[in-house]
């Protein structure tokens, strides 16, 4: 299927690894020129190289989106190089710092909540405020925010992260009401547990802590059957998130806005 992305200009935050890298590559394969945004210069430029060596078009923009100055610089890099951005994918974020998953509810300090909201919600708003006005002026654009199933799932853990991602989904819905009449759609993709490098480390932790066999497929099956049951008995793949994002980025999705697209193996049980 032709997703009609030839000539479109995309910026993907958090694209130096994992889901963001896969999204950047998928958009480039469909013909978009991609601004690869990340905090680590080496990994960010590595994503650019992967895209260009595959025949795509990409450039790097390095910075920390919890900083207004860095957000300004990233937006300027993108607009100076390409003349504007048509597709903004807000993927940058993070679940925790080292050890956060083991914290009890009363150990989540206000500072941790502030940091999580800044990284998972405010960073997205920073880029929207800098890039979406020009989309509205041109009469076409896409904003796609990446949330997490943790936002809607009771895990008795990661209280700061779940709250921030739920706030991102509310922000997405509200923003969609403002921008639709100007030709800009705003949607959110909600991944479940995705098989990134971080998840590979989690697999090793499950193997060691639970005495499970050294078989990644069996560990995934047991986790999704015994620990957090879900209909699809495996972790997701980054390319499955990228497929959802490329559809929402496409002109074929003109009639879709304010939507929450869950790609989580059925983990989330709510309307």
The three-state secondary structure class of 146 is strand
CA 271, CA 267: separation in Å to the nearest integer? 12
**Between the CA of residue 237 and those of 208, 223, 245, 249, what are the distances in Å?**
23, 16, 13, 19
CA 194, CA 200: separation in Å to the nearest integer? 9
- Pick the closest to residue 79 from 122, 132, 31, 27 (CA basis): 132
* DSSP summary character for residue 13: T
Write down the catalytic residue from 117, 161, 171, 223: 161
CA 233, CA 224: separation in Å to the nearest integer? 5
Specify whether the CB–CB gap between 50 and 84 falls below 8 A.
Answer: no
Specify whether the CB–CB gap between 61 and 78 falls below 8 A.
Answer: yes
CA 69, CA 79: separation in Å to the nearest integer? 15
Specify whether the CB–CB gap between 130 and 75 falls below 8 A.
Answer: yes
The three-state secondary structure class of 114 is helix
State the greatest distance between any 2 C-alpha atoms of the chain, in Å, as a whole number: 57
**Would residue 223 show up in a list of annotated catalytic residues for this protein?**
no
Active site residues: 161
């Amino acid at each position: 299927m032709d997703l009609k992305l030839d000539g479109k200009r995309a910026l993907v935050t958090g694209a130096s690894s994992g889901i963001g890298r896969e999204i950047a590559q998928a958009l480039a394969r469909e013909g978009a020129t991609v601004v690869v945004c990340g905090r680590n210069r080496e990994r960010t430029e590595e994503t650019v190289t992967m895209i260009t060596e595959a025949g795509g078009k990409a450039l790097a923009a390095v910075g920390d989106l919890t900083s207004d100055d860095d957000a300004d610089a990233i937006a300027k890099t993108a607009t100076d190089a390409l003349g504007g951005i048509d597709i903004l994918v807000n993927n940058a974020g993070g679940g925790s710092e080292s050890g956060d998953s083991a914290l009890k509810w009363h150990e989540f300090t206000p500072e941790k909540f502030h940091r999580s909201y800044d990284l998972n919600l405010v960073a997205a708003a920073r880029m929207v405020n800098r890039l979406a006005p020009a989309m509205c002026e041109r009469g076409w654009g896409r904003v796609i925010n990446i949330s997490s199933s943790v936002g809607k799932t009771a895990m008795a853990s990661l209280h700061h992260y779940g709250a921030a991602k739920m706030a991102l989904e509310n922000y997405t819905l509200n923003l969609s009401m403002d921008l639709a009449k100007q030709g800009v759609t705003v949607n959110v993709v909600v991944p479940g547990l995705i098989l990134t490098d971080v998840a590979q480390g989690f697999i090793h932790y499950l193997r060691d802590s639970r005495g499970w066999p050294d078989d990644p497929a069996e560990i995934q099956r047991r986790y999704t059957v015994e620990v957090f049951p879900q209909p699809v008995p495996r972790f997701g793949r980054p390319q499955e998130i990228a497929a959802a994002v490329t559809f929402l980025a496409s002109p074929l999705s003109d009639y879709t806005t304010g939507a929450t697209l869950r790609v989580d193996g059925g983990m989330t049980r709510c309307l």
